[in-house]
Amino acid sequence: TKIAVLISGRGSNLQALIDAAAQPDFPGEIALVISNRPKAGGLERATKAGIPIEVVDHKVFESRDDFEAALNHALKTAKIDFICLAGFMRVLTAGFANDWRGRLINIHPSLLPSFEGLHVHERMIQAGVKIAGCTVHFVSADVDAGPIIGQAAVPVLPGDTEETLAARILEQEHKLYPTCLKLLLENKARLLGANVIYDDSVA
Ligand code: GRF
């Protein structure tokens, strides 16, 4: 299975996926990294790992459709089967989400459906929640709303700042994302209608 990872920034989740995919038993290959930002730090991580990179800069396109046509062109040229969004900060259209339905996943730093959207850590601290976490989910037409594949929880501790909470969640993101990707690639979890179904082997 050929996987593309789409990023906009530092790419620490990309790195976690690269490291997981480097294991001999990993059932897929990261064949392309695409960034919509030319200066994304994650591009360097990909290059270091010998993975081809593409910059598809949203700013040079007149419409979202043109931007996505360029994304699709890069994905098709590289014969990509499966897409992981990892800190990719562009909203994809319903058309794109439908085209890639069941083969397009995202990681979000909250326990969805709570705290979708932006500035998640700040909002969680302000709300005073005591449990936080992260979610890997299929991407559907609505932002941060597709069927959930996996979640991990962490405590919010007294004295936490946005930074300390984000770091605690990020550590779990780096474990959860490769785990969920592997489940899907091994067909131990898959999308059926609006739900994710699992093999008996998945605890
Ligand atoms: C992560 O917190 C991810 O959950 C969110 O954006 C951040 C990306 O971080 N979608 P990185 O670029 O993977 O380090």
Q: State the pTM of this model.
A: 0.97
Going by C-alpha positions, the residue among 154, 198, 149 that lies closest to residue 177 is 149
Whole-number average pLDDT of the chain: 97
Domain presence at residue 30: yes
State if residue 97 touches ligand 1 by the CB under 6 angstroms criterion. no
Same domain, 74 and 111: no
pLDDT of residue 112: 97
167 with 131, same domain: the answer is yes
For residue 95, give the 3-state DSSP assignment: helix
Nearest CA to ligand 1 atom 5: 87
Instruction: Write the pLDDT tens digit of every residue in 142-198.
Output: 888 899 999 999 999 999 999 999 999 999 999 999 999 999 999 999 999 999 999
Tens of pLDDT, residue by residue over 37-70, are 999 999 999 999 999 999 999 999 999 999 999 9
Residue 101 domain-assigned (yes or no):
no
Domain count, the chain: 2
Q: Hey, what are 51's tokens? A: 């993975």
Give 109 Cα–ligand 1 centroid separation in angstroms.
7
Tokens 């083969």, residue? 103
| Mean pLDDT of the region 119-142 | 97
The CATH number that applies at residue 144 is 3.40.50.170
pLDDT value at residue 143: 84
Instruction: Flag whether the ipTM exceeds 0.95.
Output: yes
**Angle between helix 162-185 and 120-127 (nearest 10):** 120
Pair 138, 187 in one domain: yes
Examine residue 99 and state whether it is found in any structural domain, yes or no: no
Tell me whether residue 50 is in a domain. Answer: yes
Mutate which of 5, 7, 12, 13 for ligand 1? The one with the most ligand atoms within 8 Å of its CB, which is: 13
pLDDT at 203 over 90: no
Q: Say if residue 148 is in the same domain as residue 201.
A: yes
Is the CB of residue 109 below 6 angstroms from any atom belonging to ligand 1? yes
Q: The domain containing residue 40 runs over which residues?
A: 1-90
- Check residue 202 and give its pLDDT: 86
Would you state the pLDDT for residue 156?
A: 98
